[in-house]
Amino acid sequence: MNLVETAQAIRNKELSAVDAVRQSLDAIARHDGKYRAFVQVDGDRALSRAREVDEALGRGAPVGPLAGVPVGIKDNMCTRFGRTTCASRILHNFEAPYDAHAVERLERAGAIIVGKTNLDEFAMGSSTENSSVQQTLNPWDPRRVPGGSSGGSATAVALGMVPGALGSDTGGSIRQPASFCGVVGLKPTYGRVSRHGLVAFASSLDQIGPLARTAADAALLLSVIAGYDPRDSTSVDEQVPEYEAGLDRPLRGLRIGIAPEYFSEGLDDPVRSAVEAALDVYRKHGAVVSEIRLPHTRYAIACYYLVATAEASSNLARYDGVHYGHRTEGIDDVIELYSASRRDGFGPEVKRRIMLGTYALSSGYYDAYYLKALKVRTLLRRDFERAFETVDVIASPVAPTTAFALGEKTDNPLAMYLADVYTTSVNLAGVPGISIPCGFDGAGLPVGLQLIGPPFAEDTLLAAAHQFQLVTDHHTRAAV
Ligand code: GLN
């Protein structure tokens, strides 16, 4: 059962919350020894909360829209229970004193968190290979990566361990693993979901969003987590539309833009074909596809890896062996304590980014790199603003390839970064993007279609995705 069906069955008392959680824990027991999506599972806590839901339902007390529904949370979101590790050695023993806003909202809506999911350390990566905890395997082929950095959440959903999960997306980390694992992933507009309690990677780009099997599931999750939160000064005080009610909006007349910059060299043929076939489906159902231009796309990767690393170098300064987490023992000098704790606590990719970002911000280089990147960022945003004067959504691939092999790009960080070519502009511009399954390559690996919208057009994206899923069955194929 998908998330909407699970929620309905529990509300109609065809399924108890306890049984829903048991099914989730059973699936985890069956698959997670091999696929390793979860870094932490708390079955006892989940079952006891499920009993409370069942009891409330039994009493006829009002329950939230996600009552009894098991979910997974990416382990860079604070939870009062258990640990919040960011898959980093430096936070391996960190116990958050509060819940992230999104976590709080999920629980208030009755959702039951069964555990925390694996990620690239501090969400830096595209394959979950940078986790210091474990390697998550792709549900469709265990020799391949699940994508990243929300690889644990995408894998957990694809294997039916949970019907929905939260991820975070700074440059593609919800959409790309969703695409590699054959599930739906939505990165909301910057400010749509509060970042309170999301461990910061690059604060001007980070956004929390849902992963699930269907667009309708993602709509339900988003409707619960979206909304203003005074504890995040960048969260936007703007009405949250009724995403589920809006799903019925027909495709007829929907104006879809395609940019040649997103179908350039380096795009694998099977991905191109699947995306083109998806566009045909849209045309057949009355959407109008036309060409637009996003001329600054070729600067997106360079711009992203300056802005993101600059912000990361600043955000990660707080891990000093004193305030949080790991402290290297037996050192008297405070400066030496900082360096030793950071040396032992951070993995190689995190260190690389701190160095890149520190360099880009340092005096003499600030103007040449960071400031210039900010200017390019404005140009990228204007590209989208101009495009959305004539189209409702932009369609593109999510990634140039399907899931790549474990280890294939670990020795070549630049190759890993280049794979983010279709996702990073969306974060730099602050606009929403969704990834939906749109086909398979010759090896049976899922391909994702990305739909990008103007600010706060999540309703348009979800409706366009839902209508596609009504007439296609890619999202119903099971990985195992
Ligand atoms: N792959 C990108 C990176 O490594 C995006 C990560 C993310 O969105 N958290 O930075």
DSSP per-residue codes, 257-280: EE-GGGS-TT--HHHHHHHHHHHH
Strand (E) or helix (H) holding 313 = helix 300-315
Mutate to test the pocket of ligand 1, among 126, 145, 417 (most ligand atoms within 8 A of CB): 126
pLDDT for 323: 87
Active site residue 173: yes
Helices and strands (H, E) in the chain, number of each type: 15, 11
Ligand 1 pocket, residue 172 CB under 6 Å: yes
Spatial neighbors of 67 by CB under 8 A, at least 6 apart, are 7, 10, 11, 17, 53, 56, 57, 109, 110, 111
Active site residue 149: yes
Region of residue 191 (phi > 0: left; psi between -120 and 50: alpha; otherwise: beta): left
Between the two ends of the chain, the Cα-to-Cα distance in Å is 15
Identify the residue whose C-alpha is closest to ligand 1 atom 5. 171
Alpha-carbon torsion, ordered 268, 272, 275, 281, to 10 deg = -150
- Report residue 38 as tokens: 């979860």
> From CA 338, how far away is CA 194, in angstroms rounded?
31
Identify the residue whose C-alpha is closest to ligand 1 atom 10. 124
Low-confidence ranges of the chain (pLDDT < 70): none
> From CA 398, how far away is CA 333, in angstroms rounded?
48
The strand pairing partners of 433, in sequence order, are: 187, 452
DSSP code of residue 299? G
Domains of the chain, first to last: 3-248 (3.90.1300.10)
> From CA 480, how far away is CA 478, in angstroms rounded?
6
pLDDT for 123: 98
DSSP code of residue 463? H
Catalytic, out of 127, 132, 173, 435: 173
Catalytic, out of 16, 24, 74, 179: 74
Q: What is the chain's Cα-based Rg?
A: 21
